[in-house]
Amino acid sequence: MANPQYGQNKADTALDNVANALKKKQFSIDFGIQEANTAATETFSKGDMILGFSAVVTEAMTSGGSATIQLGFTGTTMLSAAVAKATAVADYPIGPDHSADAAPYVLVADDTFDSIVGSATATAGQVDVTVWYIAAPSAHAGPSWVTPAS
C-alpha cells in the first residue's frame, strides 16, 4: 500500500508481516465421557506466542456428580476458571481467567491445549474452541548486528 504523495510507506511491509503471522486454530472438544482428569487436545510448538483463546459450549455438560470443566494450557495463566456443570450450558462462553492473560504467553516447550474435567466424570458436553497465536519463527528474519573489533 503506497502513499502516492510521499512514496512507499516502509511500515506497510512490517504490518503485512504481522498480519500474515497471526494464526487461528479452531477445533471442537467432546468431553462427554471424560473422567475427572486432564486430556490433551491440540498441540502447539515451542516458541509459539499464544495471544488468547475463546470457547463456546455447544452441548451442555452433564454428570452424575458435581463435575467442572476447565480449558487452556495447564500450568500457565492461559487457563479458564473451573466452570460448574450447571453453568456450562449451550452458548456459555469460556476464556482465560486471569488479568495476566492480557499479555501473550510464549510456550517454552511444545504444549497442548487441555480439557480438564474436575470432581466427577462428565457424561455429556462439547465446546468449540478458537486459539489465536503467532507461530514460532523458523529463522530470524530481522537485522543482524555485528560488534566491530576494537
CB atoms within 10 A of CB 61: 26
Q: What is the pLDDT of residues 42-90, one digit of tens each?
A: 999 999 999 999 999 999 999 999 999 999 998 888 899 999 999 999 9
CATH code, residues 22-134: 2.60.120.1110
Closest CA to 51 of 95, 87, 14, 15: 95
* E strands, 22-107, in order: 22-30, 38-44, 49-63, 68-72, 83-84, 93-94, 105-106
Question: pTM of the prediction?
Answer: 0.80
Q: Which three cell numbers stand for residue 73?
A: 494450557
pLDDT digits (tens, 9 = 90+) for 97-121: 866 556 788 999 999 999 999 999 9
Mean pLDDT over the full length of the chain: 86
Residue 62, C-alpha cell as written in the block: 452433564
Per-residue CA distances from 108 to 44, 47, 60, 80, 139 (Å): 11, 6, 34, 20, 17
CB atoms inside a 10 Å sphere around CB 64: 9
Read off the pLDDT of each residue in 134-140 and give the average, rounded to a whole number.
77
